[in-house]
Amino acid sequence: MRVEIWSDIACPWCYVGKARFEKALAAFPHREQVEVVHRSFELDPGRAKGDVQPVITMLTKKYGMSAQQAQAGEENLGTQAAAEGLEYRTRDRDHGNTFDMHRLLHFAKERGRQDELIQLLYRANFAEERSVFTEGDERLVELAIEAGLDADAARAVLADPAAYADDVRADEREAAQLGANGVPFFVLDRAYGVSGAQPAEVFAQALTQAWGDRSPLKLIDDGGAEACGPDGCAVPQH
């Protein structure tokens, strides 16, 4: 079974939701047969690369909240994150463009290091004092190295704005086609969807339901064909 998770590094509920999903997955009897893939989704795709703001400022300007409302939201997120054993800085975090992080995550996927990198990006953005947005490519290269990627290769990906850009855009188009207008968004075997940072119990239910519901394949042209099996390579009679 395959679970695809659309998310953004700048999305607090994605950070929390991933932990809740992983709690359910760890207890799922068929977890060894579950493959997890991360898909790109930008919450703020129109923001220019260098346009970085404090989270509270962004929330007040973009959504017209009061600073108090914005701060209360952050405190709530901090509480929810702590309940999942996650660190979450409720003050002085930055918000910025995440397109390069998504490009790097696609590179990491090709190298089998995607889950390692997304976890490090989340931690860097939500739990660490250093901003993940203001230090340029070298901060992301550091995280790529920590995820087990080659420094020069990661640097080359970041330096070339076209590298993996199509992969990010393709993920975003697919999210729209699947009806996801917010993240995190979980898709199980392209049959079941779970929207949002649901409780672990809901993910457990989704895993069980999708697993039980796997249907037999519909065979196209079941008339027999040229194939090899334990009894040799035959040309069956149609």
Of the two residues 113 and 136, which places its CB atom closer to a copy of itself in the complex? 113
To which H or E segment does residue 192 belong?
strand 192-195
Report how far residue 84's alpha carbon sits from residue 116's, in angstroms, rounded to the nearest whole number: 18
Q: Could you say which of 5, 24, 77, 121 contacts a copy of itself (CB under 8 A)?
A: 77
Q: Name every residue whose Cβ is closer than 8 Å to that of residue 106 and which is 6 or more positions away in sequence.
A: 40, 164, 167, 168
Closest distance to a copy of itself from the beta carbon of 133 (Å): 17
C-beta separation of 30 from 211 below 8 A: yes
Query: Mask: binding to a copy of itself, 85-124, rule CB under 8 A, as x and -?
Result: ------------------------xxxx------------
Asked if 221 interacts with a copy of itself (CB under 8 A), we say: yes
Residue type, 97: N
State in angstroms the smallest separation of the CB of 78 from a copy of itself. Answer: 13
Q: Which is nearer to a copy of itself, 57 or 76 (CB)?
A: 76
Binding residue for a copy of itself, selected from 62, 91, 138, 156, defined by CB under 8 A: 62
- Taking the C-alpha atoms of residue 135 and residue 148, their distance in angstroms, rounded to an integer, is 20
Cα distance between residue 153 and residue 144, in whole Å = 10
Amino acid found at 112? G
Nearer to a copy of itself, 136 or 181 (CB): 181
∠ CA(175), CA(178), CA(181), 5° rounding?
A: 55
Stretch that binds a copy of itself, among 56-64, 91-99, 128-136, 151-159 (CB under 8 A): 56-64
Beta bridge mates, 229: 232
Amino acid (1-letter code) at residue 20: R
What angle is formed at CA 103 by the lines to CA 99 and CA 108, rounded to 5 degrees?
Answer: 140
Question: Is residue 66 a contact residue for a copy of itself (CB under 8 A)?
Answer: no
User: Which residues lie across from 140 on neighbouring strands?
Assistant: none
Q: Which of 36, 43, 127, 153 binds a copy of itself (CB under 8 A)?
A: 43
- Under the binding rule (CB under 8 A), the answer on residue 32 touching a copy of itself is yes
Question: Cβ of 138: how many Cβ atoms within 10 Å?
Answer: 11
Does 28 sit near a copy of itself (CB under 8 A)?
Answer: no
Does 148 help bind a copy of itself (rule: CB under 8 A)?
Answer: no
Q: Which residues bind a copy of itself (CB under 8 A)?
A: 2, 8, 10-14, 16-17, 32-33, 43, 59, 62-63, 65, 73, 76-77, 80, 109-112, 170, 174, 178-179, 181-185, 187, 189-198, 202, 205-206, 209, 214-222, 224-233, 235-236
